[in-house]
Structure 1
Amino acid sequence: MPANSEDRPAIADVEALVNLVDPGVARVLDHALEGKDVSAEDALTLMTTTGLEYTAMTMAADELRRRTVGDAVTYVVNRNINFTNVCIKRCGFCAFSRDFREEEGYFLPINEIVRRAKEAWDYGATEVCIQAGLPPQMEGDLYIRLCGAIKEELPDIHIHGFSPEEVLYGSIRSRWTIKEYLEGLKAAGVGSLPGTSAEILDQGLRDRISPGRITVDQWTEVITTAHELGIPTTSTIMFGHLETNEHIVRHIDLLRDIQRQTGGITEFVPLSFVHAEAPMFIKSLEDSIRTGPTGMDVIKVHAIARIMLNNWIPNIQASWVKEGSRVSQLLLNAGVNDLGGTLINESISTSAGAQHGQLMRPAEFREMIRQAGR
């Protein structure tokens, strides 16, 4: 069993190491360890660390995690239900979506979605995560009726559902305002929103990787309106494609600004770009497209997220379906305290070429956590 966090002389170890590194990096890490917010400009300094500076940064991030949330690692028993892959959008990173005329397109009826939710509940799940494509001619109240049907069968299950892109689409199809549509979802049983469809919150870059997708301003409006209505959300970033280090820290800084205003973000989830089947990679739509982040990049982004967000968003999550169990264990020692959910079914990352499966059983979570020393 790992030692109690208060028994560990971690802070002395971190401070001793910080004293040995480059003065510019040491200043930023000292600032963070004093409990102060680190600016986006200072975070840029950390994005280029290597060697001893990189080690000091990850140790500082994990010390902040230890102080803020302790050594407990959280996860939820849940099921993903991606109920349709039919979508009007053609995002360059998405290998999941299909045109409605394609043979591979599917659309699960509401009774099948409810059946899958019931099956998950019987398995021990407490949550269903519902996200999908944006089908043409969708009835505006579909998401609301879907939630109502699930709650009628399973009144105690938590519905974590509908990205800002889906909320915007539902509001357009129903001719309601975003606020009215969110009120309808909440009344139907939605408990929280996934903060996906964020990718990189820089409009110029979004126009390259997903032209026609929800804008930065629209994404922010959906998220802040949800918080105003008492609907908590997660937050995400997708990295390892065309973005720069500055894009990453500015994205995290924007999320921090939102959280300062609303306090409604429950966690931050960095998501590695999976390139294998992504259209913009296999069709060479962008000359400078990368094949996802390096292992060092993955650890840096999670650690810097902890350093930048620690005073505002206490939970930093590793996506095991993107990173796999081995890298996730390393992330548990670089500022991460949450591992997401069991998922049971996950179609979006898998379609893009992720190789880490669609189900992580609770026993596997516990073993992975123990092996990481937590």
Structure 2
Amino acid sequence: MNPIIPNEIVERAYKGTITKEDALFLLEIPPFKLFELADRLRQETVGDTVTYVVNRNINFTNRCVGTCGFCAFRDNSGYIMDTQQILNKIGEAESMGATEVCIQGGLLPDVDIDFYTDIIRSVKTEFPHIHTHAFSPMEIYHAAKKSNITVDEALMRLKNAGLDTMPGTAAEILSDRVRDIICPSKLKTNEWVDVITKAHQTGINTTATIMYGHVETIEERIDHIMLIRDIQKKTGGFTEFVPLTFMPYNNKIGCEMIKEGRYATPGIQDLQLYALARIILNTHITNIQASWVKLGKKLAQVALFCGVNDLGGTLMEEKISASAGSTNGQFMSAQELEWFIKTSGRRPLQRNTTYNPILNNDSEQVEFKIA
């Protein structure tokens, strides 16, 4: 298929057994050869259907006790939404056809698990059919510590309150060397893995993310993806993998990079990471999602030819990337998402959070796997 890539690497890609050495080799070949392999694996795994979800992001506070050097969102004199404000935003989203609400916020110093369960319970009482995709592993860890309970108990209380799934954010780079530089007060790699693994064991599926393009090495990016693969082998609980390029503006880490003449990642490197994710995670995680907020709409469209099969959500509101310098907008309608997909020669399909299709008059029944 691809004479520049040794047959044994291609075979391992198809089997889902790519090694770190294989991954490093694939980053040295001409990029379009890498993209070709990733695109072939994408086509054989999910066909030509590209999915998206109609959702709304709600960042309920920008106050935070954290000290992450990459954050431009934190403002300790900022806002905190009350429950009614959250419900009002969900009501607006539901009227626009949203099936999911993604709720995350900064770490407040004086809240415990009841704060989080009260939010979920209120949402489910008012909007029982809305899927609650909420709270990062860091928020769960923080709530458990503040409540003097185990992570297991915190997760079970949230599940009983109506939490459906969790975003796999706060991962950044799963290397303690990197975390000691960019987020020293955040949970460590093994603690992130512990929260995610326990969430899966509790019956709460999550996404998986990587935030790359700051102080990490190429090897650390690969190690991160392979750790995600190892977790998925054990739990099967990841619904998708979402690479997130670092936004270097208005934050400490980014300012230091810019002084050195570095501006996060060039587009080709972004596309290489998406392709590599598809290849490393083949047979393990079906869905590779491109963030149009991070990449921009046009590069996200190109990513559909580099292993990507999902364009994420409509969002309706996105404050974290915007505060770090993203100029790609905070909302893209379902109609525009479908237009981008169709003009790529692919077939759009609206999905729910766990990748079950939501059919409309133009859709055909399609079967999806989440793992």
Q: State TM-score, norm by structure 2.
A: 0.90
Q: 1:332 to 1:170 in 2, by over 3 A?
A: same
Does the 8 Å CA contact 1:37/1:311 hold for their aligned counterparts? Answer: no
Matches of 2:95 and 2:52, distance apart in 1: 18
Q: 1:373 to 1:201 in 2, by over 3 A?
A: same
Show the counterpart of 2:118: 145
Matches of 2:72 and 2:37, distance apart in 1: 37
Does the 8 Å CA contact 2:50/2:341 hold for their aligned counterparts? Answer: yes
Does the 8 Å CA contact 2:242/2:291 hold for their aligned counterparts? Answer: yes
Show the counterpart of 1:83: 60
Is residue 40 of structure 1 aligned with residue 12 of structure 2?
Answer: no
Cα deviation for residue 370 of structure 1 reads 1.1
Instruction: State the Cα deviation string for residues 220-257 of structure 1 (Å, max 9, x = none).
Output: 00000000011000000011111111001100000000
Show the counterpart of 2:191: 218
Query: Aligned AA for 2:187?
Result: I
> Pairwise mapping of residues 194-205 of structure 1 onto structure 2 (< 5 A)?
194-205=167-178
Query: Aligned AA for 1:80?
Result: N
**144-153 or 110-119, which deviates more:** 110-119
Query: Aligned AA for 2:67?
Result: R
Is residue 70 of structure 1 aligned with residue 51 of structure 2?
Answer: no
Show the counterpart of 1:176: 149
Q: 1:28 to 1:372 in 2, by over 3 A?
A: farther
Matches of 1:253 and 1:114, distance apart in 2: 38
Q: 1:150 to 1:32 in 2, by over 3 A?
A: same
Matches of 1:64 and 1:279, distance apart in 2: 38
Cα deviation for residue 286 of structure 1 reads 9.5
Instruction: State the Cα deviation string for residues 3-28 of structure 1 (Å, max 9, x = none).
Output: xxxxxxxxxxxx1xx12x2xxx3346
Instruction: State the Cα deviation string for residues 256-278 of structure 1 (Å, max 9, x = none).
Output: 00000000001000000000212
Q: State TM-score, norm by structure 1.
A: 0.90
Does the residue aligned with 1:130 lie in a helix, a strand or coil? strand
Does the 8 Å CA contact 2:229/2:284 hold for their aligned counterparts? Answer: yes
Q: 1:215 to 1:287 in 2, by over 3 A?
A: farther
Show the counterpart of 1:10: none
Instruction: State the Cα deviation string for residues 153-208 of structure 1 (Å, max 9, x = none).
Output: 00010000000000001111111100000001111111111000000000011100
Q: 1:28 to 1:237 in 2, by over 3 A?
A: farther
Matches of 1:76 and 1:32, distance apart in 2: 32
Query: Aligned AA for 1:361?
Result: S
- Given candidates 230, 250, 253, the residue that maps to 1:257 is 230
Does the 8 Å CA contact 1:242/1:289 hold for their aligned counterparts? Answer: no
**25-34 or 239-248, which deviates more:** 25-34
Show the counterpart of 1:3: none
Is residue 189 of structure 1 aligned with residue 162 of structure 2?
Answer: yes
Between the aligned residues of both structures, percent identity stands at 45
Does the residue aligned with 1:172 lie in a helix, a strand or coil? helix
Cα deviation for residue 140 of structure 1 reads 3.2
Show the counterpart of 2:352: none
Q: 1:33 to 1:42 in 2, by over 3 A?
A: closer
Does the 8 Å CA contact 1:159/1:192 hold for their aligned counterparts? Answer: yes
Is residue 136 of structure 1 aligned with residue 113 of structure 2?
Answer: no
> Pairwise mapping of residues 239-254 of structure 1 onto structure 2 (< 5 A)?
239-254=212-227
Matches of 2:340 and 2:258, distance apart in 1: 37
Show the counterpart of 1:301: 273
Cα deviation for residue 324 of structure 1 reads 1.0
Does the 8 Å CA contact 1:77/1:343 hold for their aligned counterparts? Answer: yes
Matches of 2:181 and 2:282, distance apart in 1: 31
Matches of 1:266 and 1:69, distance apart in 2: 14
Matches of 1:326 and 1:165, distance apart in 2: 32
Cα deviation for residue 49 of structure 1 reads 2.8
Is residue 334 of structure 1 aligned with residue 315 of structure 2?
Answer: no
Count matched residues. 346
Does the residue aligned with 2:57 lie in a helix, a strand or coil? strand
Instruction: State the Cα deviation string for residues 269-290 of structure 1 (Å, max 9, x = none).
Output: 00000002122222x2897684
- Given candidates 87, 90, 94, the residue that maps to 1:121 is 94
**Higher helix fraction (1 or 2):** 1
**39-48 or 140-149, which deviates more:** 39-48
Instruction: State the Cα deviation string for residues 319-365 of structure 1 (Å, max 9, x = none).
Output: 01100111011100110001111000000000000110000100100
Matches of 1:281 and 1:260, distance apart in 2: 34
Q: 1:370 to 1:286 in 2, by over 3 A?
A: closer
